[in-house]
Amino acid sequence: MSKIEIKNVYKIFGPQPAKVLPMVKEGAKKDEVLEKTGHTVGLDNVSLTIEEGETFVCMGLSGSGKSTLIRHINRLIDPTSGVVSVEGTNVMDLDQKQLIEFRRHKMSMVFQRFGLFPHKTVLENVGYGLEVQGQKPEDRNKTAMEKIEAVGLNGFENQYPNQLSGGMQQRVGLARALATNTDIMLMDEAFSALDPLIRSDMQKQLIDLQSELKKTIVFITHDLDESLRLGDHIGILNGGRLVQVGTPVDIIMNPADEYVTAFVKDVNRAKVIKAKIIMKPTNEVNGIDKNNLVRVKEDEFIEEFLPKVVCNNANCEVIDKQGNVKGYITNKELQKSLTKS
């Protein structure tokens, strides 16, 4: 069973969404609907599946519907039509009490603007979710300190948010989300307000934490580089419609339409594509010059081995972690993979 399933979800903002829904289902686009009815299409027939333990990144320009989408998962927004299921449970079937428990124990959220309580210390902010769950002070403080240390804020537990930098405040928000130990983390433009260097550091920290914790993360961003760095899968929204879902390499190598093509046209492919993606298995390679080979690991990105290949005008022999030869990449195929179509 998938962790999260979104099926044929429509969201129309306005006084009479049910009356406008047929128009949207018949194919009217966002601009047309707004002009003719005064209603705004937030989501237009969105369906996707998110697997347990993966980081799913949803991206698009401002107004594309990505923040609307993530708020359907914890039912901060109700769909006009469609189904949102978490572990097989339709969240629309939850009554108010069940919904509160669902939000407390099943998922946590990290906001763009941190969402910290200014009158509470770092320790109190991080432990707030546990306080809501009813944990005793000594238990929640112990857990909160563990998460504070996990995000590199040891020694700042008694500081207040206004005494911290923006990057440190976002670490507090991340620690708070981790403290409740929910299976699912929703991160809405969580790093967008940070300076580039701090943002890069937070991305690395999230990658390191995820490699250990294996949470199911839904991450919203408008930044393609961020999505390529973080996402196991990426969904791209345009005008409320989901136009493509795929791995970072799928998105870069096979953009679904002109909108996606425009997004990825300036991406440095060498930073995204690994050797194993473009290699040909050993049984499919004939006539390769094996006297001039550069040995590369299958999980190496092109940018890591490209200088060696260029300097030696060589082909690549691709090996796995045990040193076994898995395939080859010719110099010609390597150059081709870096060329934008």
Instruction: Break the chain into its structural domains and give their ranges.
Output: 4-106+182-267, 271-337
Q: Is the four-CA dihedral 50, 58, 55, 322 of positive or negative sign?
A: positive
Residue type, 252: I
The answer to whether 4-106+182-267 and 271-337 have equal CATH topology is no
Token readout for 204 is 């690395």
Q: Write down the pLDDT at residue 132.
A: 83
Q: Write down the pLDDT at residue 123.
A: 93
Q: Residue 271 in contact with residue 245, Cβ under 8 Å?
A: no
Which residue pairs from 141-149 have beta carbons closer than 8 angstroms and sit at least 24 positions apart in sequence?
143/179, 143/181, 144/175, 144/179, 147/175, 147/176, 147/178, 147/179, 148/122, 148/123, 148/172, 148/175
- Give CA 247 to chain center in angstroms: 11
The CATH architecture one would assign to domain 271-337 is Alpha-Beta Complex (3.90)
Q: Write down the pLDDT at residue 11.
A: 97
Show the low-confidence residues of the chain (pLDDT under 70). 1, 112-114, 340-341
Strand partners, 153: none
Q: Is the four-CA dihedral 302, 308, 312, 315 of positive or negative sign?
A: negative
Token readout for 167 is 């990057």
Domain 4-106+182-267 has CATH 3.40.50.300: yes
CA distance 257 to 22: 26
CA distance 50 to 59: 15
Q: Residue 179 in contact with residue 210, Cβ under 8 Å?
A: no
In this structure, the number of other CB atoms found within 10 A of the CB of residue 162 comes to 8
First-residue to last-residue Cα distance in the chain: 37
Residue closest to 181 by CA, chosen among 215, 222, 139, 229? 215
Q: Write down the pLDDT at residue 341.
A: 53
CA distance 158 to 276: 47
CA distance 269 to 249: 9
Token readout for 138 is 């000594």
Q: How far is CA 129 from CA 64, 67, 95, 333, in A?
A: 31, 22, 21, 52
Q: Write down the pLDDT at residue 281.
A: 86
Q: How many CA atoms lie within 13 A of 197 on its CB side?
A: 0
